[in-house]
Amino acid sequence: MDTITFPNGLITMAGNLHLPGDFDPQGSYPAIVTVHPGGGVKEQTAGLYAAKMAEEGFVALAYDASFQGESGGEPHHLEDPFARVEDVRAAVDFLQSLDYVDAERIGVLGVCAGGGYAVNAALTDYRIKAVTTVSAVNIGTSFRRGWFGTDSDAAAAPTLQAVAQQRTAEAQGADPAYIPYVPEQPDENTPRDLVEAHDYYLAPRAQHPNAKNKQLFAKSISRIFAFDAFHLVEDLFTAPLLIVAGSEAGSLWMSTELHGRVRSPKKLVVVEGAPTWTSTTCRSTSTTPWRKLPRFSGRTWRLTAKGTDQPDAVLPGLWNPQWPGRSRHRHSSFRVASMIPLPRRGPSHPSLLDDREPGIESNQFYTLCAMLQT
């Protein structure tokens, strides 16, 4: 792994570049940009994906978002969705500047809010030839409508009034206010996904000193509430798309909505029994029977299964190092049980999950990395 920096306008971005084990600087490699969740840093989930993809022959770049981690930008701890999307484009710029990267074979993999940012970047940047989302979150929609998507957009108005009051106070000299990405003290009313977020980000096993679990309240929320990662996906999104989500995830509705609206080649893979963050990264052993090798083919990501023709596959011990419920899921097994039929267009709905096609395609599977070793 090489520690690198790259420009993004006036901001200097900090990244980790992961290279294949048999790397030849005279070669030509496909490349992956991995986009971390809100509140994450390159050393966490995005870095795990990047390291694994490098093992499979890709040049993989994980980086800290603008205003976060080791990247530049002031004020720090700002979550600006529009800047996050531009970060992805700047990462593609950097990869295309490398002689050993095939500029026509660059894809993006995003986790949680990073999945929404990946989709939005590919919406208008056709250099991105394929996209994978893992437990995708459309951050603006989820902030306006709530984690389960049950509120109306208008429900955001009282929060925006509080934002206005806080911004006025800060303009008059008050200290900036911060809010956490994940709850500091979960209680019985905290969604399961966010309890698992706490267990990851705020526990020693995965905590990182550059992930402070805070964002500026007034300056972040006003930007987030105005953002819609999926705006115009029906008409402008053209890249092949893989969507991976857990069947028990509170955020599943965002993945099914995205799947229903996109009209490019697409697959929705649901990990049975998994909550939001168990499906973001998989822990397995070397004996897992369906280890897959990612390959580009035309405009589609492909994975070829080795050593199995089973109609469906179980991933032993799926474990999400991003937001896991470690005590409950580390030794569990979850079944990848569905390839959802592709609707032509229109909003998706969880009822689509009733139309599952059992099993997985053992010889051609549209995913960048359905399992990881940590």
DSSP string covering 277-305, please?
Answer: TTTT-----TT-TT-EEEEEETTEEEEEE
Closest CA to 284 of 245, 308, 320: 320
Average pLDDT over residues 166-177: 97
- Residue 358, preceding peptide bond in cis (omega within 30° of 0): no
User: Which pLDDT value is given to residue 274?
Assistant: 62
pLDDT digit string, tens, across residues 72-109: 999 999 999 999 999 999 999 999 999 999 999 999 99
pLDDT in tens, 291-321: 333 443 334 444 332 332 322 322 222 223 3
Q: Which CATH class is domain 2-152+224-355?
A: alpha beta
Name the β-bridge partners of 224: none
Quick one: tokens of 39? 């509140």
pTM: 0.79
CA dist 239 and 221 (Å) reads 30
Domain boundaries, the chain: 2-152+224-355
Give the span between the Cα atoms of 24 and 17, in whole angstroms.
Answer: 15
With b for 16 or more beta-carbon neighbours within 10 A and e for fewer, the 323-351 pattern comes to bbbbeebeeeebbbbbbbeebeeeebeee
Q: In sequence order, which ranges of the chain are alpha helices (DSSP H)?
A: 45-55, 81-96, 113-124, 139-145, 157-171, 192-201, 217-225, 233-236, 252-261, 326-329
Beta bridge partners of 335: 314
Residue pLDDT, tens place only, 346-358: 333 332 332 333 2
Average pLDDT taken over every residue of the chain = 78
Report the distance separating Cα 185 and Cα 177, nearest Å.
18
